[in-house]
Amino acid sequence: MLRDTTINMKRTKVKEVLQTEPSGQEVLVKGWVRTKRGNKYVTFIAVNDGSTINNIQVVADMTVFSEESLKEVTTGASVSVVGTLVQSQGKGQTVEIQARTVEVLGTADPETYPLQKKGHSLEFLREIAHLRPRTNTFGAVLRVRHAMAFAVHQYFNQKGFFYIHTPIITASDAEGAGEMFRVTTLDPVNPPKTETGEVDFSEDFFGKSTNLTVSGQLEGEVTAMALSEIYTFGPTFRAENSNTSRHLAEFWMIEPEMAFYELEDNMELAEDFLKYLVRYALDNCMDDLQFLNDMYDKELLPRLNFVVENDFQRLTYTEAIEVLKTAKQKFEYKVDWGTDLQSEHERYLVEKHFKKPVILTNYPKDIKSFYMKLNEDGKTVRAMDVLFPGIGEIIGGSQREESYEKLVTRMREMGVPEKEMWWFLDTRRFGTVPHSGFGLGFERLLLFVTGMGNIRDVIPFPRFPKSAEF
């Protein structure tokens, strides 16, 4: 509660007010007007302050208030209301506020306020990303996002994992995919050149070419070789030009890394972690999830419950290829052993064939990153991808190659600059141990938990090709 010095009262948030037993007490509520309606005798003002999806109904007796005094109380305006908390006469709410004073803090011109009416399309709301948090939908998404971030930390803290802050500016390409945003202070028009005519990055701020990180994994591995079980949770950046509903150029990733874990342990942790997060949402975000369920996707709550209650299907990449080859469904992309799975293939496995989340393991080495542990067959690596309904890949991870020789061989084969990675290779030179880890895309998790269809709608300010307005 925040004391308002002008009237010497403490503000109560709407969420708390709605849970309070009315006993004639006065309350001070502040927030934004969602709707105003009424007649000659009474005006009803629905006020929301973001603490919950539910509004508090403010009732103004028009024998006490003048039309004029409530003229600026319009949708989108901010108000400060003092009144008596009473049992509600109407349907849909238990308590309401019988207003004594209604002060407008900031007006919102009905002629120009874009959220005058309900029911705007998500596409339209994306164009006013600075105002969309004021809608029920984005309020719900942002509260769930907060709850999931909190649950991530709670989960790992309970398990004795340590939160490690890995750098955002790095000189390495952790995934070896080359989809990086450069970080430089060199003059873009006239950068210093070497004798051979290339840009001379030794003149750059860090004395070398640097970029925004695509993953905190490599630094995570380094710290896991001392603290045993760690996780990172930070922003990651990928300059892949994929304009899809599941890709962002800036997204958040949770990356646990565990010494002494083999692939089996890694899978167990991933499944337990995902179930914990979904259960946390069901236990703590029901108002928001119920709204999203009713509004967008009637299958949302059943789907969340299903994931919590059922074991994930585990199978190898090779087995999955067999399933896909004998599938009756026609795919746009052909499947053959050695090719990467497209999202249509992943979704077929999850949604049509097994009808539950799937963990695929042991992928061909050529379609996975250099750091994954090579299997005895010499052809596959100890990778694991977790595939979810409606999403496809939600987690990517692996057991890591702990042998110095084998890792160097893989780096050479895949053109990973081994000289610059000397510090990473040191982990394999000094006290190397079997270890594993994975990365959970935070926004992909939120897509699943909220049932939203587009990843641009589960992050406040999405970054994607040709878009960084807000």
Chain contacts with Mg ion (rule: CB under 5 A): 396
- Decide which of ligand 4AD, Mg ion, none touches 397; Cβ closer than 5 to 8 Å per partner kind: ligand 4AD
Q: Pick the binder of ligand 4AD from 357, 390, 439, 451 (CB under 6 A).
A: 439
Least distance CB 274 / ligand 4AD (angstroms): 11
Least distance CB 255 / Mg ion (angstroms): 12
What are the structure tokens assigned to 21, written together? Answer: 């037993």
Least distance CB 394 / ligand 4AD (angstroms): 5
Torsion sign across C-alpha atoms 63, 66, 67, 70: negative
End-to-end CA distance of the chain: 31
Angstrom distances, CA of residue 62 to CA of 25, 41, 44, 70, 103: 21, 5, 10, 10, 15
What are the structure tokens assigned to 84, written together? Answer: 């008596």
Least distance CB 135 / ligand 4AD (angstroms): 23
Least distance CB 246 / ligand 4AD (angstroms): 6
Which contiguous run of DSSP H or E holds residue 384?
A: strand 380-388
Instruction: Compute φ and ψ for 104, nearest 5 degrees.
Output: -85, 120
Order of strands, sheet of 250-259, starting from the edge strand that comes earlier in the sequence = 162-163, 229-237, 250-259, 435-441, 392-399, 380-388, 358-364, 313-316
Measured from the CB atom, the residue of 253 and 359 that comes closer to ligand 4AD is: 253
Angstrom distances, CA of residue 450 to CA of 121, 137, 279, 284: 17, 10, 13, 13
Our finding on whether 392 is near ligand 4AD (CB under 6 A) is no
Q: Pick the binder of ligand 4AD from 137, 215, 362, 399 (CB under 6 A).
A: 215
Least distance CB 381 / ligand 4AD (angstroms): 12
Q: Which of residues 175-194 bind ligand 4AD (CB under 6 A)?
A: 175
- Decide which of ligand 4AD, Mg ion, none touches 348; Cβ closer than 5 to 8 Å per partner kind: none
Q: Pick the binder of ligand 4AD from 76, 390, 441, 462 (CB under 6 A).
A: 441
Site size with ligand 4AD, rule: CB under 6 A: 22
Our finding on whether 389 is near ligand 4AD (CB under 6 A) is no
Q: Pick the binder of ligand 4AD from 351, 393, 418, 426 (CB under 6 A).
A: 393
Helices H, strands E: what count in the chain? 12, 18
Measured from the CB atom, the residue of 55 and 399 that comes closer to ligand 4AD is: 399
Q: Which residue is nearest to Mg ion (CB)?
A: 396
Between helix 136-158 and helix 263-284 the angle, nearest 10°, is 130
Say how far apart CA 240 and CA 177 lie, in whole Å. Answer: 9
Q: Which residues bind ligand 4AD (CB under 6 A)?
A: 174-175, 215, 217, 238, 240, 247-248, 251, 253, 255, 393-397, 437-439, 441, 443-444
